[in-house]
Amino acid sequence: MNIAVNTKGSKYHVNEKGYYGKFGGAYIPEMLYPNVEELRTKYMEIMSDPAFQKEFEDLLRDYVGRPSPLYLAKRLSEKYGAQIYLKREDLNHTGAHKINNTIGQILLAQRLGKKRIIAETGAGQHGVATATVCALMGLECIVYMGSVDIQRQAPNVARMKMLGATVVAATSGSQTLKDATNEAIRDWINNPVDTHYIIGSVVGPHPYPDMVARFQSVISEEIRAQLKEKTGSELPDYVVACVGGGSNAAGTFFHFTEDEGVKLVAVEAAGQGVHSGYSAATSQLGKIGVIHASKTLLMQTEDGQIVEPHSISAGLDYPGVGPMHAHLYDTGRGLFLNATDEESLQAAYELCSLEGIIPALESAHALAKLKELDLKPTDVVVVCLSGRGDKDLETYIKNLKK
């Protein structure tokens, strides 16, 4: 298990001050300082402990179902003229990569002696993954969710409640994700001693982006071993992943950042088109600013107000991007593409008909850009299939009829 690998000296991982180039840091209110400082000083020590790693590994294997398969998609490969492998995070327990992170953080919370877990959620996917691990460990779970989202995402609200979580409505502002985040932060300030805040992507104040990336790095650790077995080399030509906050992409890229021959391809949601006013393509539209206590690229107005993002996929509907990705974009190490709602729907239907796999709409964004990669028959491409499409069936059915 490589989650505590030493990344000192890397240009692409976090530095000792909590920054990726000019992005990152911890822009927190004074009253949060003790909580964040406790995490910052302890996370690497805990993650380096072999007993911690064994417990994480055992749960990933027996509860989540890892390693997730690396599947050579033959008909898709034929269509795009390359060797295309799918990293099957869709087969994980709860249906996506998010569980890798929540398992890691709940174990960490236990080591810190925390008794109470809080989280925020937009579409409810991270809320479900958090409620799942809280049930598993018998810990109290409070999930903050905008009241608009509570209405839009009723099935996930029901799942969280069934799993024993308390879902608290955030009723301020636009009553969506950023308002839920504010409520969660307020709760954490008021309960600094017994509460751990499980953030669901590589966002938030340092050390969250690095900590979450490390828990998700099992994805690229497995890809290297699986590719070695299947092709004789650990290194593909391309790794491709969709980016909302950026956790599945960070996990997919993590152990390849130093191999400059491996192209890191990040796909953002263009919504109805990058310049349509209904988009979530943060690297293209964002300017440097602070969101969720981190300095990063952020969609904002001239005077710094957050612009409402749009994507057909709830998981990519976020106005920022994690600081690691802002830096990968800034340095040119990552290739940042974007896929529209329509392209992503088509890519999802294509994967169904060619491979018999219904992907999450988020993952379909990554698939939608295969056509733009200028591939050769010898190229090895790994696409992270971050989740399964069950949650998106309503959208798929509605658009099939059109």
Ligand X SMILES: *Cc1c(COP(=O)(O)O)cnc(C)c1O
Q: Catalog residues that contact ligand X under the rule CB under 6 A.
A: 96, 98, 125, 201, 242-249, 315-316, 360, 362-363, 386-387
Residue with the shortest CB distance to ligand X: 387
CB of 244 to ligand X, least distance (A): 3
Residue 354 CA neighbour count, 13 Å, CB half: 19
- To the query of whether residue 98 is one of the catalytic residues in this protein, the response is yes
Query: Which is closer to ligand X, CB of 181 or CB of 386?
Result: 386
Specify the residue for token string 């990152």: 24
Catalytic residue among 68, 87, 98, 311: 98
Reported in sequence order, the residue ranges of 326-370 that DSSP labels E, i.e. its strands, are 334-340
The minimum distance between CB 348 and ligand X, in angstroms, equals 12
Q: How far is the CB of 386 from ligand X (least distance, A)?
A: 3
User: What does the alpha-carbon distance between residue 128 and residue 62 come to, in Å, rounded to a whole number?
Assistant: 19
Element (H, E) at 85: strand 83-88
Distance CA 249, CA 77 (A): 21
CB of 387: closest distance to ligand X in angstroms? 2
- Calculate the dihedral angle through the C-alpha atoms of 278, 284, 287, 290, rounding to the nearest 10 degrees: 70
In whole angstroms, the minimum distance from the beta carbon of 353 to ligand X comes to 20
Query: What single-letter amino acid sits at 148?
Result: V
Chain-centroid distance of CA 229 in Å reads: 27
| Nearer residue to ligand X within complex by CB, 197 or 379 | 197
Nearer of residues 249 and 375 to ligand X, judged by Cβ: 249
Q: Is 146 helix (H, G, I), strand (E, B) or coil?
A: strand
Q: Which is closer to ligand X, CB of 175 or CB of 363?
A: 363
Whole-angstrom Cα distance, residue 332 to residue 327? 8
At its nearest, how many Å lie between ligand X and the CB of residue 108? 18
From 77, 247, 313, 386, active-site residue:
386
Closest CA to 88 of 362, 363, 372: 363
Q: Report the candidate in 246, 252, 206 with the shortest Cα–Cα distance to residue 226.
A: 252
Q: Give all strands (DSSP E) within 116-164, no chain letters.
A: 116-121, 140-146
Tokens representing 256 are 């390849």
Whichever of 348 and 375 has its CB closer to ligand X, that residue is: 348
386 is catalytic: yes
Burial class of residue 186 in the structure, from the number of CB atoms within 10 Å of its CB (0-12 exposed, 13-18 middle, 19+ buried):
middle
CB 205 within 8 A of CB 36: yes
Question: Is the Cβ of residue 130 or residue 363 nearer to ligand X in the bound state?
Answer: 363
Q: Measuring CA to CA, which residue among 285, 213, 217, 198 is closest to residue 246?
A: 213
Q: Active-site residue among 68, 87, 120, 247?
A: 120
Hey, is 191 helix, strand or coil? coil
Taking the least distance from each CB to ligand X, the nearer of 257 and 386 is 386
Strand segments (E) across 89-171: 116-121, 140-146, 166-170
Closest CA to 282 of 252, 244, 314: 244
| Distance in Å, CB of 367 to ligand X, minimum | 12
- Full strand arrangement of the beta sheet holding 287-291: 19-20, 23-24, 294-298, 287-291
Is 120 assigned a catalytic role?
Answer: yes
Provide, rounded to whole angstroms, the least separation between the CB of residue 209 and ligand X. Answer: 11
Measured from the CB atom, is 89 or 379 closer to ligand X?
Answer: 89
Active-site residue set: 98, 120, 386
